[in-house]
Amino acid sequence: MSYRQLTLDERYQIQALRGLGVTQAEIARRLDRSPSTISRELKRNSVEHDYWHRVTYNARRAASFTRRRRVAKGLASRKLVGELAELVEQKLRMGWSPEQISGRLWLERRIQISHETVYKHVLRDEAKPPSQRKLLRYALRFAGYSHSRFKRSRMAERTRERKGWLEDRPAAANERSEIGHWERDILLGKRGKSALLTMIDRRSRYVLVRHVKRVNARRVATATKRALKRFRKVSKTITNDNGVEFQKQKLQNAIGLPIYFTDPGKPWQRGSIENANGLIRQYFRKRFNMDNLTKWAPAALEETLNFRPRKILGWRTPHEVFFGKNVKLTRGELLRFGIEISYVN
């Protein structure tokens, strides 16, 4: 039977069963896993946490440890050393590109290394103290890629200081089992400097919309704080992408909520807000200039979406699920109009 990594759900089961005093052999039987897999998992990812040196196992912490080891192993495995490193450096000085080196090594000697591995080797040389560098950077055409691999972007520096990853997010947020776990995004329009800050509760799909006159970290943080002011007591977490407008460290301290970031290039990890943005695009197309937005439009948009029945909610509305109150929507006097008419064109 081929080996497969433990999932986060399985780690939560291990945590719960260990808390009940279940033996490793019984845990393995219940999860249909090898006893050695459970033993290795507990040995690697359990930690001492108090004065009495008691060893405990935490599922989220275990997943984080595993991910860090995997990243470290990947980085180590891509290092070029010894004779191979000397050969690569020689070809670089001869004017060969990393891709040419990679392809020729496979053709002649069946040595398989990626051209990215060669670039990483050059970057490691560049990171050394000046007296130890071999100046491999200058052997590359244009000293690297045209977009300059050798500059540390401000975006990269900020994301290294992030507060948390999705694997550290509470189980209630992942399972959508309670109110107060928000997803957040910025919806841009045509030209202009303003945009819409959109937020959605993962459990109820309740939407918040705020107009941001200029997209930067300070203004987005302020708009987020104001949007959540009414719901401060029930709010628990915020999840967003890695946009520079969301890298405001002070926001987490100001609102007291942990902020989690999705992996780059994986919008499905915050699918609720992506779906909400698609609904909003029905009224504000990409060609719409958000600078021309009227003051009442965000509130009207919120009401339109929050009082619309959703199939995923059993045809209840986000408003009903969020506040736990039923509303009659099929009576003539309660029909809501406004944004549908104003922005239908």
Report the pLDDT value the prediction gives residue 110, as an integer from 0 to 100.
85
Q: Which residues contact 24 (CB under 8 A, 6 or more apart)?
A: 35, 38, 39, 42
pLDDT(75) > 60: no
Task: Kindly report which listed range (101-105, 186-190, 325-329) carries the lowest average pLDDT score.
Answer: 325-329
**Which of 250, 248, 241, 227 shows the shortest CA–CA distance to 184?**
241
pLDDT class of 343 with cuts at 50, 70, 90: very low
pLDDT class of 185 with cuts at 50, 70, 90: very high
Burial of 313 (0-12, 13-18, 19+ CB in 10 A): middle
With contact defined as beta carbons under 8 Å apart, do 327 and 317 qualify?
yes
pLDDT(312) > 90: no
pLDDT(212) > 70: yes
Domain boundaries, the chain: 8-75, 78-151, 166-342
Q: Which residues contact 66 (CB under 8 A, 6 or more apart)?
A: 5, 6, 44, 45
> CA 307 to CA 290: how far, in whole Å?
24
| Amino acid letter, residue 13 | Q
pLDDT(326) > 70: yes
The model's pLDDT over 186-201, given as tens digits with 9 standing for 90+, comes to: 998 876 678 999 999 9
Task: Kindly report which listed range (45-49, 120-124, 158-162) carries the lowest average pLDDT score.
Answer: 158-162
Region 74-87: mean pLDDT is: 75
pLDDT class of 340 with cuts at 50, 70, 90: very low
pLDDT(45) > 60: yes
The model's pLDDT over 248-306, given as tens digits with 9 standing for 90+, comes to: 566 677 677 888 888 877 888 889 999 999 888 878 877 788 888 888 999 999 988 89
Report the pLDDT value the prediction gives residue 291, as an integer from 0 to 100.
83
What is the percentage of the chain residues whose pLDDT exceeds 70? 82
Taking CB atoms within 8 Å and a gap of at least 24, the contacts of 8-15 are 8/59, 8/60, 8/63, 8/167, 8/174, 11/41, 11/59, 11/60, 11/62, 11/63, 12/59, 12/171, 14/38, 14/41, 14/42, 14/57, 14/59, 15/57, 15/58, 15/59
Specify the higher pLDDT residue, 100 or 345.
100
Report the pLDDT value the prediction gives residue 333, as an integer from 0 to 100.
44
Specify the higher pLDDT residue, 23 or 248.
23
pLDDT class of 160 with cuts at 50, 70, 90: very low
Report the pLDDT value the prediction gives residue 261, as an integer from 0 to 100.
87
Task: Fill in the DSSP letter of residue 80.
Answer: -
pLDDT class of 147 with cuts at 50, 70, 90: very low
pLDDT class of 217 with cuts at 50, 70, 90: confident
Report the pLDDT value the prediction gives residue 23, as an integer from 0 to 100.
92
- What is the architecture of the domain spanning 166-342? 2-Layer Sandwich (3.30)
> CA 26 to CA 28: how far, in whole Å?
5
- Mean of the per-residue pLDDT values for the chain? 81
Region 115-133: mean pLDDT is: 87
What is the percentage of the chain residues whose pLDDT exceeds 90? 26
Q: How many helices (H) and strands (E) does the chain have?
A: 15, 7
> CA 225 to CA 219: how far, in whole Å?
10
Give me 11's structure tokens: 């780690």
Report the pLDDT value the prediction gives residue 78, as an integer from 0 to 100.
60
> CA 27 to CA 23: how far, in whole Å?
6
With contact defined as beta carbons under 8 Å apart, do 88 and 118 qualify?
yes
